[in-house]
Amino acid sequence: MKLRVTLARLAADAAHWGTTRLLHRGGGNIPGTVALRVDPNVVGELSAALSPKLVVTGTNGKTTTTGLLADALAGDGHDVVCNRAGNNMESGIAAALVLAGEKNPGRAGCFECDELYTVRVLPKMRPDALVLLNLFRDQLDRYGEIDHTQDVIAEALRRSPATALVFNADDPLCAAIADRVDNIGLPFGIDEPTDLEADRISDSRFCARCNAPLDYEYVHYGQLGAYRCPECGWERPGLAFAAVNVTLTCGGFEFDLEDRRSAKVVRHHIRTRYSGLYMVYNVMAALAGCLAAGNDAARFQEVLDAYEPASGRGKVFSLGDGREVASNLAKNPTGFNRMIQQVRAEDGRYLALFLNDNDADGHDVSWIWDIDLERLHDLSDLRLVCVGGTRREDMAVRVKYAELGAPIVLVESVEDALRFVGAGEKLHAIANYTAFPPVVAELERLSKTGSAPAAQTPPTTPSAAVVDAASVALDRPLRIVHLYPDALNLYGDGGNIASLSKRCTWRGIPCRVDQVLMGQELDLSDADVVLLGGGADRDQLAVCRELQGQRETLAAYVADGGVLLAICGGYQLLGHSYMMGAEQVEGLHILDLETVAGSTRLIGNVAIESPVCDAPIVGFENHAGRTVLGAGECPLGRALVSGTGNNGQDGNEGVLHDGVVGTYLHGPLLPKNPGVTDWLISRALARRGAPVELAPLDDALEAAAHDVAMRIATGH
């Protein structure tokens, strides 16, 4: 072994000893970080002799699939090196390798890898296969748009040309990567409709080749399903590994995995004890990876039966008095929606949601408005929803607008939530990335000591905002039009629609929400409020082309004083042009503003003073474009945080043009800024000739969420 590698291992061992013995902390990434300082190629050197070696990446399910695949390899007789704790950056993989020691020469490797680190790990490790699970929106302030993640993974595969790509063909975003590289592709997917978990929001349903909207024969959830482009014919590739006969049982799922790589199809029957359809994908990916590596699947079911998810994920803790807590990790809308499905499957009665906004979580929490909490209306007896974490106030507002009919209680911890759960009851705790370990640690302590808190009577009155207001007389309801939510759905814009419609309904103002989807005619003749949201570059370009053909309709609505809220990409579209990469895209020329490319992204919490409402407006910006207003346009407000806003230079944020509010602020904007919502409603009513003084609402939760965002943005 090279001297430098030996020194790297010795240094890593010393770092691990010091971290665990002296500081009494887990080793984590530190040994790997030290080893990489000594030898930047330590991952390549120490993984060279591993066979087979597999890397697992994707947005959701990496840790579970990696652990299951590693167990399957071990069940086939391999001694496996694996970063089971989920430390999935290059330093975490390096730590697993340097701390594994030197055992038998027939070792295998199975590693979870963060999507953005594949380009650093694959060229060094040269694995036999990369298992690509899915691509969903996640930590946009860190990862950027999904297009960027696709570019990184594709480049990683180009630099490791002998690596086979075992990919989820049901996800067009994964299939698009396979379409761009020359690596051997082994697609897997569910080859039949399941009719179980289709989501309200998907991350992209546009063709990777021509950007036309995809047609779906069926959808499983998100953008996963059987798709085809009606314009160019691009479609889900033929499956090398196909799940068929998928059946929901009382204990989980059963399905058959067909290995179709040869003319003779081999069928493997699989039983899982997990109820979420996402676990069908995780199990299928692990088995496909095992088979792709040339391993025998004879013991896979045995391995699956014995498998326990890592770090308390999906674990049920018993507390001695009959109380139980199911702990689940969910860090993005798709993950949360899968957990919501499990709560529904068990007809849960007590729910605790924990939301943090630390660096590892992403500081933008607007994604919580894409969680389908409204599905919990199906529960027969939801009694309590507790919310905790650094952004618990935001989650409380989200729960409030879901109108679940249960009290909302802000808590400091899962132990605090358990005070409202009686003996013999079960609490479903769902937490995002950094909120999850403390939840598990608390539950482990409580289950060992049997010192669960004494049960208390929960609040009896739900946190509601309905006021006793007389109905507003209108000849027809206020018509709220949401433009292209099937494409522009990147920043929780559904929360803006919810804020408008709920605040009307709570006041007795009749309203209705209409969606205009891609390909539909734009009719704004009786529109009162229009929302144009933000999307990924590919999706925004498709909307731009769609609107260019109907520009006069939108322009006439604005000229007539129509109320319009345009967020981020939608805001840019209203101007003369904007940049998509190096390409200048012609806008709609409705407002006098221009957007050029910036060298960096403006990312972070923002606060502005605006004439629209008394309280400062708060939100989160994440944009590379630099927007400059024409001489005749007025900004929405002045930034209270230097270096933020339209361009980071002139102190302006957004645009206020008659009834048009354009802004880069999401979060989403309206739920935390009820004054802006009420301004839009008042403008719409006045335009209808029905000016009224809006009845006050109980905005205590909204004000609390606003104040948290204000403190983060301004430091006070």
Q: Which domains does the chain show, CATH number per domain?
A: 41-307 (3.40.1190.10), 312-449 (3.90.190.20), 478-714 (3.40.50.880)
3-state secondary structure of 628: strand
Q: Find, among 330, 346, 137, 132, the residue nearest to 222 by Cα.
A: 137
Report yes or no: 563 and 682 within 8 Å, Cβ to Cβ: no
Q: Are strands 652-653 and 637-639 parallel, antiparallel or unpaired?
A: antiparallel
Which residue did the predictor score with more confidence, 313 or 481?
A: 481
d(C-alpha 43, C-alpha 35), whole Å = 9
d(C-alpha 557, C-alpha 524), whole Å = 7
The DSSP 8-state label assigned to residue 579 in this structure reads E
Per cent of the chain over pLDDT 90 is 66
Dihedral-angle region of residue 715 (phi above 0 means left; psi in -120 to 50 means alpha; beta otherwise): left
Report yes or no: 347 and 379 within 8 Å, Cβ to Cβ: yes
Query: Comparing 140-144, 201-205, 363-367, which segment has the lowest mean pLDDT?
Result: 140-144
**Residue 258's pLDDT is what?**
97
User: Nearest 5 degrees, angle CA 339-CA 205-CA 277?
Assistant: 25
The catalytic residue among 78, 363, 666, 706 is: 666
Kindly report, residue by residue over 671-696, the tens digit of the pLDDT.
999 999 999 999 999 999 988 889 99
**Residue 144's pLDDT is what?**
55
Report yes or no: 385 and 406 within 8 Å, Cβ to Cβ: yes
Cβ count near 313 (within 10 Å): 17
In the residue annotation, 363 being an active-site residue is answered as: no
User: Nearest 5 degrees, angle CA 561-CA 562-CA 567?
Assistant: 120
Which residues is 619 bridged to in the sheet?
Answer: 606
Whether the predicted pLDDT of 156 surpasses 60: yes
Q: Find, among 30, 3, 281, 272, the residue nearest to 132 by Cα.
A: 281
Whether the predicted pLDDT of 652 surpasses 90: yes
3-state secondary structure of 109: strand
d(C-alpha 556, C-alpha 538), whole Å = 27
Q: Are strands 266-272 and 253-259 parallel, antiparallel or unpaired?
A: antiparallel
Mean pLDDT of the chain: 90
Q: Which helix (H) or strand (E) holds 288?
A: helix 277-292
Residues 6+ apart with CB under 8 A from 263: none
d(C-alpha 496, C-alpha 577), whole Å = 25
Whether the predicted pLDDT of 643 surpasses 90: yes
Give, in order, the Cα–Cα distances in Å from 463 to each of 63, 283, 421, 505.
37, 40, 18, 16
At 564, is the pLDDT very low, low, confident or very high (cuts 50, 70, 90)?
A: very high
d(C-alpha 99, C-alpha 91), whole Å = 12
Q: Read off the tokens for 536.
A: 């990924």
d(C-alpha 138, C-alpha 115), whole Å = 11
Whether the predicted pLDDT of 468 surpasses 60: no
Kindly report, residue by residue over 3-52, the tens digit of the pLDDT.
777 787 777 777 767 766 655 455 567 888 888 888 888 899 889 989 99
Report H helices in 454-550: 494-505, 537-548
Question: What is the pLDDT averaged over residues 218-242?
Answer: 94
Residues 6+ apart with CB under 8 A from 45: 1, 2, 5, 39
Kindly report, residue by residue over 88-132, the tens digit of the pLDDT.
999 999 988 988 876 656 799 999 999 999 999 999 999 999 999
In the residue annotation, 589 being an active-site residue is answered as: no
At 1, is the pLDDT very low, low, confident or very high (cuts 50, 70, 90)?
A: low
Dihedral-angle region of residue 294 (phi above 0 means left; psi in -120 to 50 means alpha; beta otherwise): left
Whether the predicted pLDDT of 344 surpasses 60: yes
Which residue did the predictor score with more confidence, 387 or 448?
A: 387
Query: Comparing 165-169, 304-308, 456-460, 627-631, which segment has the lowest mean pLDDT?
Result: 456-460
Per cent of the chain over pLDDT 70 is 93
At 386, is the pLDDT very low, low, confident or very high (cuts 50, 70, 90)?
A: very high
**Residue 52's pLDDT is what?**
95
Q: Find, among 401, 394, 407, the residue nearest to 351 by Cα.
A: 407
Question: What is the pLDDT averaged over residues 597-609?
Answer: 93
The catalytic residue among 16, 220, 568, 657 is: 568
Whether the predicted pLDDT of 608 surpasses 90: yes
Residue with tokens 């109380």: 323
DSSP secondary structure, 661-681, as one string: EEES-BSSHHHH-HHHHHHHH
Report yes or no: 625 and 585 within 8 Å, Cβ to Cβ: no
Question: What is the pLDDT averaged over residues 335-345?
Answer: 86
Label residue 183 exposed, middle or buried (CB < 10 Å: 0-12, 13-18, 19+).
buried
Q: Which residues of 488-517 are buried (b: 16+ CB within 10 A; e: fewer)?
A: bbbbbbbbbbbbbbbbbebbebebebeebe
Residue with tokens 């849960």: 348
Kindly report, residue by residue over 170-204, the tens digit of the pLDDT.
999 999 999 999 999 999 999 999 887 565 556 56
